[in-house]
Amino acid sequence: MRIFRLNILAFFLLFVVQYNTFALQDVTTDLFGAENYGTVAAFGDFNSDKQTDIFIIRKQSELVIFLADSKTPYFKPKVQKIKDVLPSDTIVTSVVPGDYDGDSQMDVLVTTQIKPEAPTSVFIFWGNNQTLDIGGWLRLNKNFTDQPLVMDFNGDMIPDIFGMTNKLSTEVCYLTNRIPMWQNALSSPLSMRIPHSNAFIDLNKDFTADLFLTTEGPNFETWISKDGNFTKADVMPAEPPASFVGQSSFVDFDGDGYQDHLLPVCLDKSCQNSAIYLAKPSQSEKWVPVLSDFKWRETVWSFVPGKPSQPLALHLGDYNLDGFPDALVILRNTSSSGQQQAFLLENVPCNNASCKSVGRMFRIHWDQSDLGAIQNAIMATFFDIYEDGILDMLVLSQAAGKNDSIIHALKNNFEADAYFVKVMVLSGLCSNDCPEDVKPFGVNQPGPYVMYTTVDSNGYLKNASAGQLSQSAHFSLQLPYTVLGLGRSANFLDHLFVGIPRQPGETDIRKQEWTAIIPNSQLIVIPFPHNKPRSWSAKLYLTPSNSVLLTAIALIGVCVFILVIIGILHWQEKVRTHTRVHTCIGVVNTGLFLMIYCFKV
């Protein structure tokens, strides 16, 4: 009987046990065909079909929206003729999709420059029935000193445009009714760094987005949202221990529910030595190195210093769904060739004294041959290609003699018994009664904050949090949704919290909680009406994983195996019964024969 039980267990494990493997598959042709060129500028659901589309800049002046499709190539180009509208010799520097007029249709903001040192002009192309109205567009009547930050400054869930219009003045532009309305943004003057990495992100875990600014120095300022008004708070350390700093970014690095400040730096002027520092909101006076070892075998790698049009930046996402965000970055070989290559930085437990206070660190995947095969890489980011909750990769490389970059798409074939929850928060300007029967899915809403708490497979409390579209400038390439890894815990999510910005003077926090969320699900949250969180609705879409399929196969296999055993035992019992019956009949017949014989005698 013991052997029988062990056989069943082995049969079950044969199907269920999976190994943590990470491999990449080049799917560029399947996605783009022969159209894999240009600069990836943004992501968003342009045609409201619940599939994320890709916004690409070509020839520095053309906008092409690659619409997701169910047939190969899975992304088909749709050229937007904005070049005819823009002044001659204009360079498109960024693209930011969003609903800027509050009609629940996706518009497109485009920033332009005549030359690198010139002011930044902003054009808005209005969405109209899942297309862009090229004939009806708006150019803002003021220019910015740098690319603006798209944020929800007044908490009405309509994106606003924030930035510096002169050397010391910060202003915000509202576009309600498609008419630019300007107002001074902050109570004290400041000088913004160019290129900046300003962010609209919750920094004190009150589920209301705050304002983080990068100023000259390099310095950092935090403006906390108190009752919907931004108030200047603590200033970060005057200067990080570096000669050159890159773009700031924010993630819940150690899984404590708070957003941590990550900063890639060069330790010397020639950027031969690099590091990534982390600062926690509760310990803002201290910079903690979470990556400082850039040496592999006898080769030393380092960050590419960057330039205003393409600054040094990390692109973040949880590739292995363990609940701790990882990063993609471009490094160059400083020992010999100077080649540039994309690398994956995995978030792992800290193994040295320098990062002990954080408990986590980055580890470079040196032997990732699929990424190494892409020569002269200039940018890399995460993107859920197949809408299955697993983050894949897009890598841009520069070919000699060509102006446009080459786009490479790499499918993440990571296999492990890990789970996720994918959350997208909409504007909530309408629910089921949108004007002109508009589907309010493609709005790219900046500012919402998402956090979950649950118990992992070992019984320990687990947290993870993320802000939605907290940065918009200088190819931040953030996704219009958040993917939070759950690790190997297949338990229901105990609590999922969603918060949105508040209007000035509003004291109540706009936050709602959902319980018992199924793992591997996508949640679309509609915060309507904004000031009544209890009335908010959420639509749940399930994404079956390989582990679910394998578990089902294993269960069916075990059931079939047990049925076969039962069938064999039943057949054996039937044979034995049949044999006993025939034996009894033979005995009876023999007895009768003897009785008859004796009677005759």
Which residue shows structure tokens 């500012």? 447
User: How far lies 309's CA from each of 195, 271, 469, 554, in Å?
Assistant: 8, 18, 20, 53
Rounded Cα–Cα distance for residues 391 and 393 (Å): 7
What is the number of other CB atoms lying within 10 angstroms of the CB of residue 570? 10
Q: Who contacts 49 (Cβ-Cβ below 8 Å, separation ≥6)?
A: 68, 441
Rounded Cα–Cα distance for residues 170 and 193 (Å): 13
**C-beta separation of 216 from 191 below 8 A:** yes
pTM: 0.86
Torsion angles phi and psi, residue 310, rounded to 5: -150, 75
- Dihedral class, residue 359 (left if φ above 0, else alpha if ψ from -120 to 50, else beta): left
**C-beta separation of 264 from 312 below 8 A:** yes
Instruction: Tell me the domain boundaries of the chain.
Output: 33-412
User: The dihedral of CA 134, 140, 146, 152: what is its sign?
Assistant: negative
Q: Classify 423 as helix, strand or coil.
A: strand
CA angle 329, 331, 337 (to 5 degrees): 160
Q: What is the 3-state secondary structure (H, E, C) of 543-559?
A: CCCHHHHHHHHHHHHHH
**C-beta separation of 48 from 104 below 8 A:** no
User: The dihedral of CA 448, 228, 186, 188: what is its sign?
Assistant: negative
Q: Beta strands 521-526 and 419-425: pairing type?
A: parallel
Predicted local distance difference test score (pLDDT) of residue 552: 66
**C-beta separation of 233 from 224 below 8 A:** yes
Predicted local distance difference test score (pLDDT) of residue 418: 82
**C-beta separation of 420 from 319 below 8 A:** no
Tokens of 487: 């690790």
Which residue shows structure tokens 């009894």? 584
Taking Cα atoms as reference points, which of 24, 31, 67 lies closest to residue 393?
Answer: 24
Rounded Cα–Cα distance for residues 589 and 521 (Å): 72
Class of domain 33-412: mainly beta
Predicted local distance difference test score (pLDDT) of residue 77: 94
Which residue shows structure tokens 């687990």? 462
Predicted local distance difference test score (pLDDT) of residue 166: 86
Mean pLDDT by 10 residues, the chain (601 residues): 38 41 86 96 92 95 94 92 87 95 92 91 90 88 95 95 90 93 90 94 94 88 92 74 90 93 92 92 80 90 86 95 95 86 96 91 92 94 94 94 92 83 92 75 90 85 94 96 88 92 93 92 93 92 65 80 90 79 58 54 53
Taking Cα atoms as reference points, which of 224, 195, 193, 228 lies closest to residue 210?
Answer: 224
**C-beta separation of 523 from 512 below 8 A:** no
Predicted local distance difference test score (pLDDT) of residue 397: 96
What is the number of other CB atoms lying within 10 angstroms of the CB of residue 456? 14
Taking Cα atoms as reference points, which of 445, 474, 373 lies closest to residue 120?
Answer: 474
What is the number of other CB atoms lying within 10 angstroms of the CB of residue 491? 14
Taking Cα atoms as reference points, which of 66, 4, 6 lies closest to residue 38?
Answer: 66
CA angle 36, 42, 45 (to 5 degrees): 95
Tokens of 349: 């437990």
Predicted local distance difference test score (pLDDT) of residue 583: 65
Crossing angle (nearest 10°) for helices 546-600 and 2-16: 150
Predicted local distance difference test score (pLDDT) of residue 283: 65
Q: What is the 3-state secondary structure (H, E, C) of 60-76?
A: CCEEEEEEECCCCCCEE
